[in-house]
Chains A and B, each alone.
Chain A
Amino acid sequence: MTDVTSQTLRLLRESKGWDVPRMARELRNAARDTGEDIAAHHGLVKMIPQWERGNRVPRERYRLLYLKIFQDMADRVSSGMAFGTELALRLAEVHSRAASLPGPGQVRALEAAALARPGKTMTPAEIRALAAESIASLHEVAGKLAKLSALLGDDEVGEVGS
């Protein structure tokens, strides 16, 4: 997992809807299945945020446990193709980040809120332009996801701003 960024660890965890203590439990469960001796729950609860912030790099045994836990996601994404785990995890990360983006309606709501309470840093025209650029970028994301979906031969990739 050397090519997976610290941010990916957080996104993988969040993609399952797990908080840090749950991630710690899952790591311990996975370790128990394989007979691994790993840190106690409270130690993992401290280490996981450090790994996710990039302050520390997880040791190999923890990287292998992450792979074991998220292998199902990697398998689903690679869906039988001969991808390496690194690319499969990159795909999973992109899916997760795209799915957590706001939709155009939410961007419009933010734009309206910003316009209703103007600060001193941007003019209304700049706020409108920022929102329009956000929505344009969202469309770019949707277009690229559609291309990726076609290339992967599946129809589960195209989720933006759920």
Chain B
Amino acid sequence: MSAREDEIRRLVAELDAHIAEVEARVAALKALVADGDIQAEEEDPS
């Protein structure tokens, strides 16, 4: 395996980790919004 391919594999692994971080944080934000929506409906069911 060439040094260049090694570097690409390393970058892809790092990207994978950073993308997973963003996905997890965005999922948490979306869950918060959904949670807020549910609570708002419970407090004001009209």
Contacts and interface: CB of A to CB of B under 8 A. Distances in A.
A148 B39 contact: no
A117 B15 contact: no
Interface size class of B (residues with CB under 8 A): 20 to 34
A141 to B, nearest CB: 5
The B interface is mostly helix, strand or loop, or mixed, namely helix
Interface in B1-34: 4-5, 7-9, 11-12, 14-16, 18-19, 21-23, 25-26, 28-30, 32-33
Interface string A112-127: 0110111111100001
Contacts, number: 91
A82 B19 CA distance: 26
A27 interface: no
Contacts of B23: 97, 101
Interface stretch (A13-21, A37-45, A65-73, A128-136): A128-136
B35 A121 contact: yes
A101 B19 contact: yes
Contacts of A131: 25, 29
Contacts of A83: 5, 8
A133 B25 CA distance: 8
B19 to A, nearest CB: 5
Interface residues of A, number: 36
A94 interface: yes
Given A118-B36, A141-B18, A91 B25 contact: no
Contacts of A121: 32, 35
Interface of B: 4-5, 7-9, 11-12, 14-16, 18-19, 21-23, 25-26, 28-30, 32-33, 35-37, 39-40
